[in-house]
Chain A
Amino acid sequence: MANLLELVDIHKSFRMGTEEVHVLSGATLSIAVGEFVALIGASGSGKSTLLHIAGALEKPDSGTVLFKGRDILSCGCFERYRYRNRDVGFVFQLYHLLPELNVLENTLLPAMVAAPWYKALIRARPGKKLAVEMLTDMGLGGRLKHRPNELSGGERQRAAIARALINRPSLLLADEPTGNLDPRTGQGIIDLLIRRRREQNCGMLLVTHDPNIAQLADRVVRLEDGKITMT
């Protein structure tokens, strides 16, 4: 299988007061097209940092990030915006929905980022049909006009998943998506993620602490001492 994402020899350190903390010291990981990889590790081991680097939200001190063979770090900023918008979908532990927008608008936001500005003038909503379909499929058909504060945690996360998938990305990056949910709701979210990933045939890098969730992945990797180890 061809590699979708390759993280090669990633180094990253942060300054904590006067001390320099090396979070990642030569982490290397690859994800194949359509592959589901679970990333586990202790708290503070750098899982989220690795996820952010994979999504071009953060730059490593050194190392290479290749997406479909293309070096993301050496790309221009517009290429990186495009990568975050079209190729990657983020799902966060805290959902991160915009409180001023309703469920449908939150879902459509990445599609709007991709659309040219004049579409706003003709009040066109690119991807609306797909978003409604997706949200209905996720059980949010009756909640399209609701604002995030009117939704339960599970509903918010489903809306966040719909937002991550609206531009049909090749890679889903999920940072402890069930961390804020009860086990039953969390299981429902994972089932949904797996189903939708399979339907769209996209790769997924999922950060989790839960071994039950990790075992559902095609492959489980552990981040330990700043390096990736196979389990």
Chain B
Amino acid sequence: MYKIFLCFRYLTRKGIVIFPILAVWLCVSMLIVVYSIMTGFVDRVRDAGKELMGDVVIQSTLAAGFPHYAGLQKALAKLPCVAASAPVISTYGIMNLPEYQTSAEVEVLGIKPALQAKVSSFGKSLFWQYRAPLDAAHDLRGAPFPLTGRKLVSYARGKLNAALIDFRQHEKRIRKLKPIKGSGWIAGIEHHWHVIAREDYRQAEYHLNRVFRDLRFVQKLPPSAVIPSDAALKKALLPSAPSFIPPPQARERYPNQKAEPKYGCVVGIDIGLYNRDRFGHYHRPPGVRFSPVILTIVPVTLSSTLATPQSHRFQIVDDSRTKVFTVDRHTVYAPFHVVQKMAFMQQQDLLSGGVRPARCSEIEIRVHDDSQQSAVNAARNQIAAAVRRYALKHPGMQSTGLTVMTWLQEQSQFIAAVDKERDLITFLLGLMSLVVIVVIFLIFFMIVRDKTRDIGIIKAIGGSEVGVGSIFVLYGLLISSAGTLMGVVTGTLFVIHDNWIHDDILWRIFGITIWNRRVYIFSRIPDQINPETVATIAILAIVAGLLGAIIPALIAASRDPVHALRYE
């Protein structure tokens, strides 16, 4: 009993214990924060990588692609593991925006949008055909359902009016800002307030645009139709499948039907047409949507020579955000059959008679069970066997260098780099945690030295070696547990509220920006806590505290009582 009693007394009446508790606390907090944010980052990168393409991809090593893809798709559809497949043509070209007098090198992906949405997150990456209607449903979820389309429009108008009032207030605030005179720290604070006012104004402007967009969406609903709930509204606003066909309002942009490009294309969000603010919101200038785009690609022949460049005029119908920067920066999506024709990959009649079959660059496949990577790997093996069997029956396919890879194999270099980055940081933090063990050891060593006479007294009144040792082991356990508990609480709270801490405290009060959303592909700092990770860190911290306490405890236990009593 005396061990527990003395341990608590030493804990509550010795000020020095605050230092090892602080060391453990800070270390545990730091590990939880860094590991959670890094893991969140890696997970998002992996999710984005996984959603970017199908679970399994069949590719050709030839730029000219491979033939008989439609037959192969039919053969694959018979496999029980395959849920859907979509052909893709991948080529490089130049994107030219005549109205903006700008051009850029791009990767042109020819896709069938409805099919592509079944195998990848292409559909969900679109702004006008997915994100914006979803935002509208979200913004209007507070409407008094059930209500008619007409009433919903009037509710959306109310929201627009409120947003307009808010915007005007911010506008007034901006106008009232006086020029900053002089320099020094007061001028610095003044400048910071100006920055905040301007950012708030931009946010109000963004919000106004958004609720205006919401209104435009609900105006499309039949006025007399009854919408029973917000879920029904979401369903009504979302299109059934993504499409490259320009909507009717696109015609307003062009003087006549002849001038309007027949097909639309989708551009990557980071291609350079949109601005991104410090909160990660993209501001879409009004004229960009439906503006004409000329895509020029250089077809590659079967003998790997370059053919005459082919151009085609499209209009931007949407923008895509996959959250993989290299993709969003350089990719333009266009209708499969148009790109196929531009790339000379369509079915061709040969002069010698006969037909050259149509080709594609890859087939992306979604498997039924993609919850576990092992299931995806098994499906990949089945698909690879089916591809081999199919290729044997179609001699034209054998020389195209077909490979069958899972999404993880395809993205391995990209994901492995982020994985390694996280492991490296965790390793470095782990090394730093060793310092905590040393700090605890030193402080405990000092405490044991300080308590030498007490050890003699405890032994003189019948305390055993094990008893004395266990006082200090228990002491270490309680110190590391207290520090760990504090670390878990503060670390978890920090991670959960990291966006709030970053935006409303660090930036708004101190003007510090660590997570620059203009640069990072993700708008929000990862704020997910993994209980297993927290538990592992907590256990390791307690064990580390015990390790730091164990040697001083052994020293204490082995102290000769007579020498201890004479200790000055």
Contacts and interface: CB of A to CB of B under 8 A. Distances in A.
Interface stretch (A63-71, A111-119, A218-226): A111-119
Interface string B460-491: 11111101000000000000000000000000
A143 interface: no
A151 interface: no
B330 interface: no
A117 B461 contact: no
B5 A84 contact: no
Contacts of B458: 109, 113
A82 interface: yes
A168 interface: no
A119 B1 CA distance: 6
Most buried by B among A86, A92, A112: A112
Interface string A113-134: 1111111110000100000000
A77 interface: yes
A85 interface: yes
B196 interface: no
A77 B464 contact: yes
A75 B241 CA distance: 88
B462 A84 contact: yes
Interface string A78-105: 1001111110001010001110110001
Contacts of B323: none
Given A100-B10, A113-B2, A92 B565 contact: yes
A98 B461 contact: no
B422 interface: no
A183 B96 CA distance: 108
Contact of B457 (A81, A98, A112): A98
Nearest to B2: A112
Nearest to B464: A81
Interface in B10-27: 10, 13-14
A61 interface: no
A120 B462 contact: no
Nearest to A97: B457
A32 B463 CA distance: 27
B4 interface: yes
Contacts of B123: none
B4 A96 contact: no
B264 interface: no
B565 A117 contact: no
Contacts of A115: 1-2
Interface stretch (A2-10, A37-45, A52-60): A52-60
Contacts of A46: none
A100 B4 contact: no
Contacts of A186: none
B459 A117 contact: no
A47 interface: no
A113 B461 contact: yes
Interface string B109-122: 00000000000000
B454 interface: yes
A96 B452 CA distance: 11
A101 B9 contact: yes
A136 B14 CA distance: 29
A207 B565 CA distance: 16
Nearest to B9: A100
Nearest to A96: B457
B2 A100 contact: no
Contact of A86 (B13, B462, B467): B462
B454 A98 contact: yes
B472 to A, nearest CB: 14
Contacts of A81: 462-464
20 contacts: A52-B562, A57-B561, A57-B562, A81-B463, A81-B464, A82-B462, A84-B459, A84-B462, A85-B463, A92-B565, A96-B453, A96-B460, A100-B6, A100-B10, A109-B458, A109-B461, A110-B462, A112-B2, A113-B1, A113-B463
Given A109-B458, A117-B1, 10 more contacts: A57-B460, A57-B561, A81-B464, A84-B459, A96-B453, A101-B9, A112-B1, A113-B462, A117-B3, A119-B1
Interface of A: 52, 55, 57-58, 77-78, 81-86, 90, 92, 96-98, 100-101, 105, 109-110, 112-121, 126, 163
Question: Considering the complex of A and B, which 5 residue pairs feature the smallest CB-CB distances, nearest first?
Answer: A85-B462, A120-B4, A112-B2, A120-B1, A100-B13
